[in-house]
Amino acid sequence: MSLLTVRNLNVNFAQRQQPIAALLDINFSIEPGERLAIVGESGAGKSLLGAAITQLLPKPGYIASGSVTLRGKELTQMSAKQWQEVRGQRIAMIFQDPMMTLNPVLSIGAQMVEAIRSHTRIGYKDARKMAIDKLAQVRIASPSQRFEQYPHELSGGMRQRVIIAIVLLLRPELIIADEPTTALDVTIQAEILQLLKEVCESHGVALIFISHDFGVVARISERTLVMYAGKIVEQGATLEIINDPQHPYTQGLLNALPQMALPGQRLNQITGNMPSPNERPSGCAFHPRCRYATERCAQETPNFINTDVSIAACILLEELVSHEEEPDA
């Protein structure tokens, strides 16, 4: 059975006249121990999807319809009290800025012990020992000294390690990491990615990794969802998508990377900007920026097509598939 299943999830933002649809018809699932990446530009709704899974949607956002199930148990209908047992213990989150996540006036140790003791009945001494063990596991030097220190005394990379340690304390089944390395330098980023990958493997934790950087995603995830304007446009195995992207948006994203053009040459940019949710184009939301767009794209909403590489929602692919089928018929 899948660990987490999201079915036909729609998230709206309430407004005076008419609610604005921010996430439309999201469908995906994640297996235990799997590492899944969600990629897209800012405004694509990738962070919102993470928030919707954990019911941490910013107001006035709400889940309009659809279901999110964790090992078969419906999450969208749970009360706040029931959620307390899920958040942290079964689904944990890591955010972009570790300084915003850690409490600046409490020592690292106090925050770790608090996390343990608010979920379990473990005494202070044992909790302290557990915390120091975990700090050592995420390769923090002299963990018992760091235990006493405050967040501002640590470097950015170390803070993110502390957060990974806190997250692991309660042995969750799923970690949702929202751009956890964006605020870090390249060398530190490489270390944190390596660490995240290792702890996920050793603890058997599933990971949802939200990022805008295909280079990072390629290093950590097995499967990738590409989002555009609140919808999933393509999903499949990470390396296969990178080698042979099917959806024009995925192609555009990959082609825009500086390494895809010869040095000094113009980059292959995608023209225009991501539309805001209240002015969603008709048909396929990507058609105003797509270089292959036809009239059909402006009118019809594309369905998901199974290609050899991935599952992508594009009218062009639909036409391609139907052309291939015709001669047989």
Partner 1 sequence: MPELIRIKNLSKAFPVRGDWFKPWRSKKQQLKQGVHALNGIDISLQQGETLCIVGETGCGKSTLARVLVGLETPDQGEVWYGGEEISRLNDRQRMKFRKRMQMVFQNPYASLNPRMTVYQILQEAVALHHPELNHEGQDQHIRQQLESVGLDQTAEDRFPHEFSGGQRQRISLARALSVGPELIIADEPLAALDVSVQAQVLNLMMDKQAEHNLTYLFITHDLSVVEHFASRVAVMYLGRICEIADRATLFSAPKHPYTQALLASMPRLDNLDETPIPLQGEVPTVYEDIEGCSFCRRCPHATQRCFEQIPVALNLEDGSQVACHAIEEGRVWK
Question: Which residue ranges make up the site for partner 1 (CB under 8 A)?
Answer: 41-42, 141, 155-158, 185-191, 193-194, 212-216, 218-219, 239, 242, 252-254, 256-259, 261, 263-264, 266-271, 273-274
- Among residues 278 and 299, whose Cβ is nearest to partner 1? 278
Q: How do strand 61-70 and strand 174-178 relate by DSSP bridges?
A: unpaired
Dist. CA 68–CA 75, nearest whole Å:
6
Strand ranges (E), the chain: 4-13, 20-30, 35-39, 61-70, 73-74, 91-94, 174-178, 206-211, 223-228, 231-237, 304-306, 310-313
Minimum distance from CB of 246 to partner 1 (Å)? 17
HEC assignment per residue over 73-115: EECCCCCHHHHHHHECCCEEEECCCHHHHCCCCCCHHHHHHHH
User: CA angle 90-102-167, nearest 5°?
Assistant: 25
Minimum distance from CB of 304 to partner 1 (Å)? 23
- Among residues 273 and 306, whose Cβ is nearest to partner 1? 273
Minimum distance from CB of 197 to partner 1 (Å)? 11
User: CA angle 209-33-257, nearest 5°?
Assistant: 30
- Among residues 88 and 157, whose Cβ is nearest to partner 1? 157
Buried b (16+ CB within 10 A) or exposed e, 48-71: bbbbbbbbebeeebebbebebbbe
Minimum distance from CB of 17 to partner 1 (Å)? 22
Q: How do strand 61-70 and strand 4-13 relate by DSSP bridges?
A: antiparallel
Minimum distance from CB of 27 to partner 1 (Å)? 25
Minimum distance from CB of 253 to partner 1 (Å)? 6
- Among residues 44 and 86, whose Cβ is nearest to partner 1? 44
- Among residues 192 and 232, whose Cβ is nearest to partner 1? 192
Place of tokens 């082609």: 255
- Among residues 120 and 155, whose Cβ is nearest to partner 1? 155
